[in-house]
Amino acid sequence: MPITDVDYFSSSNNRLITEELDYDIPNMKNEFDRMFLALTNKQRHIFQDIMIAVKENKKGVFFVHGYGGTGKTFLWKTISAAIRKDGHIVLNGALSGIASLLLSGGRTTHSRFIIPFELTDDFICKINRSSDLGSLLRKTSLIIWDGAPMVHKHEFEALDRSLKDVFKSQNSTNSDIPFGGKVIVFGGDFRQILPVILGEQHIKIHKLTKNMRLTVGSDQSDIEKIRDFAKWLLDIGEGKLGGSLIDFVYPSILEKYKNTNYFQERAILAPKNEVVQEINDRLLLKFPRDEVEYLSSDSICQSEFVHDEFDANLYSPDVFNGLKVSGLPNHKLVIK
């Protein structure tokens, strides 16, 4: 006799599945048609590649790399509408609650997949195969995980082991396939984290580079300027500009460097002290006068006091280091 499809009979009583199917199908179709027409050629290529894997059940893991404003969230919404308009399930997740609110029906991945905040390298999510969540995952067509580069690798590994365990009841070979054979899409921007060393991977990578956010509501006459500005932003993120960033933030510095308001109204935010030092050095080279060094001290000279005894604990190190330059540890102020 054929094996009874437990998921089929339990779906009507499964609150999680009911919630994920609770969409206005006609409205979802209209929303998909509108968004699909607005996709760029690159977005459409990525959309079709992912949807082929979903519809043909080819399995697969994708990563969409895109800088801020290149349309990742819009792509997630289009893919979600495409799946939901046909009455299927897509699970949208992100690292933080704020990020998950940008996704259609989004939740944090910790909440959705029962991932604790403290993980070990052998952890497996507590997802029982016969639970409502286990049934939901089996009926899910696609999982989208936004902001993936910000997540510790143990979280991906935990979900990988958990999905393999849930899906091996359907097919024993699923335990040998990444994420149990479920189609999953990761997205994010690697420029937001420390450098990554690439290793063995089973992921198909797509890249988005066109900044869509800057062109929203812009006149056609401004498109060319916006395109140049978007490229400039990307070059800054890649560290290709260097000195031109100083020229952009401090234009006409030789004419205005004596004006204190000029410096109060602008600043360059840098991630490391060595970068701050490099920027300071480049700016100092622009000034026409000689350098003068003013040194600060980390201790109090007792000879400056009338009384021989004083409490040094009353004086914070911050008082002595008040002349620090941009947080540098050399306690030196250089002025021209």
pLDDT at 327 over 80: no
Superfamily of the domain at 6-210: P-loop containing nucleotide triphosphate hydrolases (3.40.50.300)
pLDDT exceeding 90 applies to what percent of the chain?
31
Q: How much is the average pLDDT of 134-150? A: 93
- List the single range of 28-42, 174-188, 225-239 with lowest mean pLDDT: 225-239
pLDDT at 86 over 90: yes
Task: Round to whole Å and give the CA distance between 296 and 141.
Answer: 64
DSSP state of 315: S
pLDDT at 289 over 80: no
Task: Pick the more confident residue, 163 or 248.
Answer: 163
Task: Pick the more confident residue, 282 or 1.
Answer: 282
The model carries a pTM of: 0.69
Q: Are 100 and 92 in contact (CB under 8 A)?
A: yes
Rank 43-52, 99-108, 210-219, 226-235 by mean pLDDT and report only the highest: 43-52
Task: Pick the more confident residue, 257 or 34.
Answer: 34
List C-alpha distances in Å: 267 to 63, 68, 262: 35, 22, 10
Task: Pick the more confident residue, 207 or 30.
Answer: 30
List, as own/partner pairs, every contact residues 179-183 make where C-beta atoms lie below 8 angstroms and the sequence separation is at least 24, other chains included.
179/61, 179/143, 181/59, 182/59, 182/137, 182/140, 182/143, 183/50, 183/53, 183/54, 183/58, 183/59, 183/60, 183/61, 183/62, 183/141, 183/142, 183/143
pLDDT at 321 over 50: yes
Structure confidence at residue 21 (pLDDT): 92
Q: How confident is the model at residue 1 (pLDDT cuts 50, 70, 90)?
A: very low
- List the single range of 82-91, 218-227, 271-280 with lowest mean pLDDT: 218-227
pLDDT at 90 over 70: yes
Task: Round to whole Å and give the CA distance between 234 and 240.
Answer: 9
Task: Pick the more confident residue, 238 or 10.
Answer: 238
Read off φ and ψ for residue 326, nearest 5 degrees.
50, 35
Q: How confident is the model at residue 311 (pLDDT cuts 50, 70, 90)?
A: low
Q: What pLDDT, in 10s, does the model give residues 30-61? A: 999 999 999 999 999 999 999 999 998 888 89
Structure confidence at residue 32 (pLDDT): 96
Structure confidence at residue 91 (pLDDT): 96
Token pair 């040094």 is found at 312
Q: List the domain boundaries for the chain.
A: 6-210, 221-335
Structure confidence at residue 175 (pLDDT): 76
Please, what is the average pLDDT of the chain? Answer: 80
pLDDT at 97 over 60: yes
Rank 34-48, 240-254, 256-270 by mean pLDDT and report only the highest: 34-48
Q: What pLDDT, in 10s, does the model give residues 153-179? A: 889 999 999 999 888 877 777 778 889
